[in-house]
Amino acid sequence: MEMAEVEEILGRYEGEPGDLIPVLQDVQERYHYLPEEVLRYISGRLHVPLSQIYHVATFYNAFSLQPKGKYTISVCMGTACHVRGAPTILESLQRILGIRPGETTPDGMFSLETVHCLGACALGPLVVIGGDYHGRMTPTKLDAVLRRYRKGGG
């Protein structure tokens, strides 16, 4: 792992322990997870105990200690989405991608997760891919949407 990239991230901040969360956010954005060797490096540079860094990294759902895909796919399983077919969408995604919620495709393209509610019930069933909302999802629409992401566009 190239620590020059981590140094560039750290250079955006004052180097104080209070910079920990924004530094971790930037590292997460860059690597799609928080690599152990980077956390150790940050611990030394910010003079924050590694145990405290792990406490923060495991407390917030936005952080992951496992590699995530380029695109995170969130399937809403809230009541409105559920009754409109979210379980079928989730099954289709698992079949197409060959992964279950909490896993990442071997090519590092997609990570799959379920969420309780995305706050857009009228659009159910709802899938969010890389921050883009895709409402009234069907298995047929799902294939087309995933093809666009594989080609590099949303």
Q: Give the helix/strand (H/E) hosting 76.
A: strand 71-76
The residue that leads in pLDDT, 154 or 89, is: 89
Q: Are 26 and 12 in contact (CB under 8 A)?
A: yes
Amino acid 154: pLDDT: 66
pLDDT at 5 over 90: yes
Enumerate the CATH 3.40.30.10 domain ranges in the chain, comma separated.
71-150
Name the DSSP class of 121.
G
For 71-150, which CATH class? alpha beta
- In the block, tokens 């590292």 appear at 27
Name the DSSP class of 132.
E
pLDDT at 26 over 90: yes
> Distances from the Cα of 135 to the Cαs of 64, 92, 109, 151, in angstroms?
26, 15, 21, 21
Q: Is 35 exposed, middle or buried (0-12, 13-18, 19+ CB in 10 A)?
A: middle
Q: What percentage of the chain reaches a pLDDT higher than 70? A: 98
